[in-house]
Structure 1
Amino acid sequence: MMALTPVLPDAKAGYLRSGLQQVRGWLDASTAVYLSGIEVAQRTEDIVGDVAEIGIHHGKSFLCLSLGLPADQRAVAIDVFDDQSANVDNSGRGNRPTFERNLAAYGAGDNIDILQSSSLDLEQAGFVTAGRRFRIFSIDGGHTKEITENDLWIAERTVVERGLVVLDDVLNRHWLGVISGLFGYLADGGSLVPAVLVPNKLILATSVDQAKQYRDLFAATFPTALEKADVPLAGHLVDVYAQAHWLVRGENDETGPITGHEPMATITAARLTELEGQLRTARSDLKAVQQQLRAANLPLYRKAARRMPWLARPVRPIFRRVRKVMGRPR
């Protein structure tokens, strides 16, 4: 599916087009578009606040949120970085020097705050008592049930009324602590409400009414990417958004695909002919390999009988015995 992004600040658009695939990490390209686009869409709705992320790695998703941010808003990056003893489940390995190089390489501003800490220590450090201030809070840190619950409570207490929380790996079968933590948080009375599911991330709002407004905002911002609406999840309804091939639009009117994604609409006739030729060659190679495998499947003793009968003769009784035991016909 081909889709157009909303118009994005040039720094964001440039990062998506040419930088996203260069930064190491785990982030679906479509989800990068959704994070970037909804950050901008919040501004059009006059939703004011900073952005934050727990779990940075090299900054792949943090850059989607922080690039092009208004100068009077802060972007807070939280990670244990070098203190890997606090990375209890090995769910990532933040590298601060690499992260800072990526910030500089892709044009992040001076409004970045880096906090080296386990999220389990944030409340004791006074992070929560600073008050509600985030319009987007991304959770991608430890993936255990305990840490996920902790991070959701931290986000609930620091996100502004019209803000949103993004929970990573909620349906990832390798990290079932995340969905266990989500259900534990909701069962304990957590007020965040599931609203939108994008590839590998769940977006939660601060109330049922706000969840409905975010579903409407996503529909207006990404009108061609809705895959399924009104899907029940944990007692709420969420809208599911698809993976797509995106043409990224910047404020300077430049439009182009995300590096590594080759939309069909941009493939020339010559390129299509080249791909068809590669497919024919691959099929021919496969056929040759199949013939070799069939030839190799000829029993070894038959080859020996033909090529070296004086060596094959003594082992024939053994093969006959093996075939008899296995119930195979002589």
Structure 2
Amino acid sequence: MSADFVALDRYIDRQIEAVPGYFGHAEWAAIDALGRWQVEQGIAGNLAEIGVHHGKLFFILALLRQAGERALAIDLFEDDALNTGIHANRDRAFFDNCTKLGIDLGDRDVWKVDTLTVTPDAMRERIGGVRMISVDGGHDYANIVHDLGLADAVLADDGVMMVHDFFGIGWPDVSVAAIHFLTERAERLQPFLITQYKLFVARPAAAERYRTMLASTPRLRGASLSDRLMFGKPITLFKLGRREALERRIKRKLGFYPKRL
């Protein structure tokens, strides 16, 4: 099995907005570009997400799998007070979406667990080294610090860690916890990209390579990229270009995206 770019294009171009979730075009364009570049560069490793919700981001990771790689979905798979309406039914929506998208997951690819009970050793045993991991589980301080520790424990030398809701106005603990964590582990982890909803982090030796790729890849030609500083080191700020934003609005207005999968 190699990464299914045809299915990935179909998912991103026609299906992704039908899956409830909390991030937008800039984020999935960045994840898509980073993941494909890893494949092109021969970077191998598993993929994982802590807090998959209905699968909006996780399905990108699953479709990026190469031969011998796994994608691990980690979640409680239960509703809570914040997940109602179209965001409810997390106990079955993720699995229904897997079926509709034709994404094959085995028993070892789904981990129903409270991550606060998971140790770094248990995480390594379950998934091994990862080239991409998203952290989007519990949003209180203790959860964020713990889950970032789990992600750090399995992140490969050329891997990418994504922190959701960084600077999110509704979740101040995410920003505070992530800043504290990254400050303490500055020799191991370096932010290299920030979007409206996500902070992207890599090992220091890999961070600049990813920034160089983002600035040169044709897949992000229409994006608005600019340089900033974070912790005194360069980071790329990524916003949606005007043309891409207009195309997205037109597609939605014309019914290009299904209302639900």
**Could you tell me the TM-score, scaled by structure 2's length?**
0.83
Q: Which letter maps to 1:169?
A: D
Deviates more, 1:43-52 or 1:94-103: 94-103
One of 3, 11, 22 as aligned partner of 1:15 = 11
Q: Superposition pairs for residues 124-139 of structure 1, below 5 Å?
A: 126-129=122-125, 132-139=128-135
One of 179, 190, 194 as aligned partner of 1:193 = 190
Q: Which letter maps to 2:151?
A: A
One of 73, 93, 96 as aligned partner of 1:98 = 93
The equivalent of 2:159 in structure 1 is: 163
Please list every run of 5 or more consecutive structure 2 residues that lacks an aligned counterpart in the other structure: 255-261
| Change over 3 Å in CA distance of 1:36–1:94 after alignment to 2 | farther
The equivalent of 2:201 in structure 1 is: 204
Distance in 1 between residues matched to 2:37 and 2:124, nearest whole Å: 26
- The Cα shift of 1:83 comes to 7.5
Deviates more, 1:158-167 or 1:128-137: 128-137
SS in 1 for 2:209: helix
Mapped contact 1:68–1:108 kept (Cα < 8 A): no
The equivalent of 2:239 in structure 1 is: 242
The equivalent of 2:49 in structure 1 is: 53
The equivalent of 2:257 in structure 1 is: none
| Change over 3 Å in CA distance of 1:114–1:79 after alignment to 2 | same
Encode CA deviations 1:63-112: one digit per residue, 9 max, x unaligned: 1221252242110000011285xx9x879867131101111212213467
Mapped contact 2:35–2:64 kept (Cα < 8 A): no
Could you say which structure has the larger radius of gyration? Answer: 1
- The Cα shift of 1:154 comes to 0.8
| Change over 3 Å in CA distance of 1:124–1:233 after alignment to 2 | closer
Give structure 1 regions of 4+ aligned residues with deviation exceeding 4 angstroms.
89-94, 129-132
| Change over 3 Å in CA distance of 1:29–1:131 after alignment to 2 | closer
Distance in 1 between residues matched to 2:89 and 2:118, nearest whole Å: 17
Q: Superposition pairs for residues 56-71 of structure 1, below 5 Å?
A: 56-71=52-67
Q: Superposition pairs for residues 213-228 of structure 1, below 5 Å?
A: 213-221=209-217, 222-228=220-226
Mapped contact 1:80–1:94 kept (Cα < 8 A): no
Q: Which letter maps to 1:197?
A: I
Distance in 2 between residues matched to 1:160 and 1:124, nearest whole Å: 14
SS in 2 for 1:261: helix
SS in 1 for 2:124: coil
Encode CA deviations 1:207-240: one digit per residue, 9 max, x unaligned: 2x211111012122224424311x1113322011
Mapped contact 1:11–1:107 kept (Cα < 8 A): no
The equivalent of 1:261 in structure 2 is: 249
Mapped contact 2:115–2:147 kept (Cα < 8 A): yes
Distance in 2 between residues matched to 1:94 and 1:50, nearest whole Å: 27
Distance in 2 between residues matched to 1:23 and 1:73, nearest whole Å: 24
Encode CA deviations 1:97-149: one digit per residue, 9 max, x unaligned: 11011112122134671101112112178123557410001011111121111
Q: Which letter maps to 2:190?
A: V
Q: Which letter maps to 2:249?
A: H
SS in 2 for 1:136: strand
